[in-house]
Amino acid sequence: MSKQIRMWKITGKGFNELERGSVEQEKKLHDWLEGDISLISNDLLVIGREVLTAFNKYIDLLCLDGDGNTVIIELKKDKAPRDVIAQILEYASWVDDLTPKDILEIGNEYLQKKGITLEEAFQQKFEKPLPEILNNSHKMLIVASELDAQTERVVNYLSQHSIDINAVTFSYFRDGENEYVARVLLIPESMVIESSKKVKRWWTAELIREQIDNVSDEKLKTRLSEILNFALEKHIFAESVSKDPQFSLSVQSTGGKALAILLDGRLYAYFGLIEAKKYPTEEARKGFINDLKRLNLSPQNIDPDEVKSGRFLERGLTDLTDDEFNEFLKILERNLVSK
């Protein structure tokens, strides 16, 4: 169980133990951390509150550290141990796929309400420019007034296996009208194990071509090359930032990424509500998903208005017949290339 912090006030007559209270509302602690994230660490900048994920759930607080890496903060209040662990891991799986452009959009949307850009806020906080590559890695942090033994055990287990996760508890005390907050990290910063996961990189067209040359499946290699050449010829190729090689196709008129091509043949289409701005019109967005349905790449019953971000398509490049693959290229030209 988490340590029970006790505090005393030193007086001329000895020691008076302070009354230990609790943060009654999650929002109160939420507000405190948003207003002064140094309660957790001086090396954090809040870039989002209640950040909507593709799972239609909200990250309590999203931060950047001084290296431009993301930190996901989840408040535990009233959540069962399995719920808070599952939730923060789910959030991390979504954050892991965010590109530097995504981080910029999230940060600017939040910070511009405060009259400042992400670049300006980062410069003020860390006294150095915002890194070009953001979200190269991420950390997870669970915040609670106390931790149960099961949560402690799972967090320690994940940390020992190179998952960058930690927990912090806040104890609240009163002394008349004076209020105090004490903070304890479950895993001391000096003991946090650095993650051994791959480093993200910019996948340029040249690097992608090199990676395609190493693909052993000839059918997949040919189709990846055709899509890459098509994207470059039509000026809709978009670099991706990820640990594994992949590239994107953008909508020519807006520059928004509409499709991610993974070199194992999987396809991810961005067509949900939060992706609507990537398309010139609502008709164009829905036309794209309807074309994918006709080729059985997307479920027939899917409603674009019920999807927040996007979906992996039902079939990969090697699942398509030659005729279907040719039709797929026509779908891309019809929906992504300006007339």
Is the same domain home to 156 and 252? no
Name the residue range of residue 249's domain.
Answer: 201-336
Is the same domain home to 187 and 205? no
Nearest residue to 51 (alpha-carbon basis) of 79, 65, 67, 30:
30
Phi, psi dihedral angles at 335 (to 5 degrees)? -100, -25
pLDDT at 219 exceeding the cut of 60:
yes
Position 156 scores a pLDDT of: 86
Burial class (CB in 10 A: 0-12, 13-18, 19+), 214: exposed
Is the same domain home to 162 and 259? no
Structural domain includes residue 282: yes
3-state helix, strand, coil in the chain (%, to 5): 40, 25, 35
Any idea what DSSP says for residue 105? H
Is the same domain home to 225 and 185? no
Q: Per-residue pLDDT tens for 150-172?
A: 888 888 888 887 788 988 887 66
Q: DSSP string of 244-258? A: S-EEEEE-TTT--EE
Among 191, 209, 237, which residue terminates a domain? 191
> What integer best gives the mean pLDDT of the chain?
85
| CATH number for the domain harbouring residue 62 | 3.40.1350.10
Among 191, 219, 250, which residue terminates a domain? 191
pTM of the model: 0.59
Position 25 scores a pLDDT of: 47
The size of the chain, in residues, is: 339
Q: DSSP string of 135-150? A: -SSEEEEEEES---HH
Is the same domain home to 181 and 210? no
pLDDT at 195 exceeding the cut of 60:
no
Among 172, 191, 210, which residue terminates a domain? 191
Count: domains in the chain? 2
Is the same domain home to 225 and 322? yes
pLDDT at 192 exceeding the cut of 80:
no
Q: Per-residue pLDDT tens for 279-302?
A: 999 999 999 999 999 999 999 999
Nearest residue to 289 (alpha-carbon basis) of 272, 277, 266, 274:
272
Position 321 scores a pLDDT of: 97
Taking residues 302-316, report their average pLDDT. 87
Structural domain includes residue 3: no
**Cβ atoms of residues 271 and 258 within 8 Å:** yes
Is the same domain home to 66 and 209? no
Q: Per-residue pLDDT tens for 60-94?
A: 999 999 989 999 999 877 666 678 888 999 999 89
Is the same domain home to 100 and 183? yes
Is the same domain home to 171 and 297? no
Is the same domain home to 31 and 76? yes
**Cβ atoms of residues 145 and 23 within 8 Å:** yes
Is the same domain home to 186 and 222? no
Position 5 scores a pLDDT of: 65
- The count of other CB atoms within 10 Å of the CB of residue 294 is 12
